[in-house]
Structure 1
Amino acid sequence: MLKVNEILRVKGDVLYTITPDATVEQAIQIMSEQDIGSLVVLEHGELVGMLTFREIMRCLNHKKDIHSATVRSIMDDHPVSVTPNTEATEVQRLMLELHARYVPVMDGPTLLGVISFYDMARALLEMEQFENNMLKAYIKHWPDDKTEADE
């Protein structure tokens, strides 16, 4: 069964972070420049929240001033997280149940990365293609039902 650590290994280890005291405007700038949908919020090296476009849209909808509003004031300060050994099916369930597009991967207090809905879809598609290729190879080399004694 596919596990989170395998998805992270394929995805790579690039992680974009921001501090909770940064402004929402700074967060938008980073997310736009890097073409990403989330930022991990770290304080003193520890995960304290996640900031996604969802929180930014809510901020804009409430007409908060993005120049002065802080990341802390709009971030999700209790994001659901998974471990490297969590199975992909469990991550799917959590993402769908909680409407979470981004899930931090924690090994104890250590942040290893973030799994996105896109990462999950890509990993599952690649796994399906691999299994399909393996089945095709197996069928192509299917042993004959006849034995030499039957001939």
Structure 2
Amino acid sequence: MKVRDILRVKGGTLYTVSPDETLARAVETMAQFDIGSLAVMEHGELVGMLTFREVIGAIARNGGTVGDTTVRSIMDDHPMTCTPETELDQVRPMMLERHTRYMPVMDNRMLMGVISFYDVAKAVVEMQSFENKMLKAYIRDWPEEEAAEPRPDDPAQPAAAR
């Protein structure tokens, strides 16, 4: 399974923010749409990612408030990315290695979407469930072997049966 398969199921909605936007406005957007990340776009290009991890860190540093912080000052300006053609088996270790929950999907320099660790886990569970169903159906339909006629020279047969 490839990342494009996840994007196809998710749809094309992208939530973005400008790097010069206030953190307060970005947090409002995240809360309004119940999302954990925003792609940070400038001049039509991805320049970073803002996730709840960066938001929580900024709030902790500011004594419990967002203050006048801008998105640019706390965003991850070098987010790990993948392409629509990246295999899910490659994405999972990448996300685990960098402790990344959200990954932008790029086709050259164009942002195609953002996948989350939840999206990846869901796709894997669905894929494994499908494989399980197929294996169970295969086993259930396993052809019965015909009972083999004992051979007269078979040493496993008792002497009286020979």
Q: TM-score, normalised by structure 1?
A: 0.93
Residues 70-109 of structure 1 mapped to structure 2, 5 A cutoff: 70-109=70-109
2:17 equivalent to 1:30: no
Determine if the alignment matches structure 1 residue 135 to structure 2 residue 135.
yes
List 4+ stretches of structure 1 deviating above 2 A.
Answer: 64-67
What is the aligned residue count?
A: 148
Mean alpha-carbon deviation: is it higher for 74-83 or for 60-69?
60-69
Q: Which amino acid aligns with 1:88?
A: L
CA drift at 1:142: 1.2
Q: Name the CA distance, whole Å, in 2 between partners of 1:97 and 1:107.
A: 23
Per the alignment, in what secondary structure is the counterpart of residue 77 of structure 2?
A: coil
Q: What is the one-letter code of the residue matched to 2:49?
A: M
> 1:67: how far off?
4.2
> SS in structure 2 opposite 1:115?
strand
- How big is the alpha-carbon RMSD for the aligned residues of Structure 1 and Structure 2? 1.6
Q: Could you say what secondary structure the match of 2:134 adopts?
A: helix
Q: Which residue of the partner structure matches residue 6 of structure 2? A: 7
Q: Tell me, what secondary structure is at the counterpart of 2:40?
A: strand
Q: C-alpha separation between the residues in 1 aligned to 2:94 and 2:121?
A: 14
* 1:79-138 residue CA offsets vs partner (Å, 9 max, x unmatched): 000011111111110111000000000010111101101101100010011001111111
Determine helix, strand or coil for the equivalent of 1:49. strand
Code of the aligned partner of 2:33: Q
Report the 3-state secondary structure (helix = DSSP H, G, I; strand = E; otherwise coil) of the residue aligned with 1:54: helix
Q: Which runs of 5+ in 2 are unaligned?
A: 150-162
Q: Give the aligned partner of residue 41 of structure 1.
A: 40
TM-score normalised according to structure 2 size: 0.87
Deviation at 1:75, TM superposition (A): 0.3
Q: Deviations over 1:12-37 (max 9, x none)?
A: 21110000010000010000010000
Distance between the aligned counterparts of 1:14 and 1:143, measured in 2?
A: 48
Secondary structure at the aligned position of 2:20 is classed as coil
- Matching residue of 2:50: 51
Looking at structure 1, the residues matched to 68 and 92 of structure 2 have their Cα atoms a distance apart, in angstroms, of 36
Query: How big is the shift at 1:9?
Result: 1.0
Letter in 2 for 1:55: E
Q: Alignment identity in percent?
A: 57
Q: CA deviation at 1:66?
A: 2.3
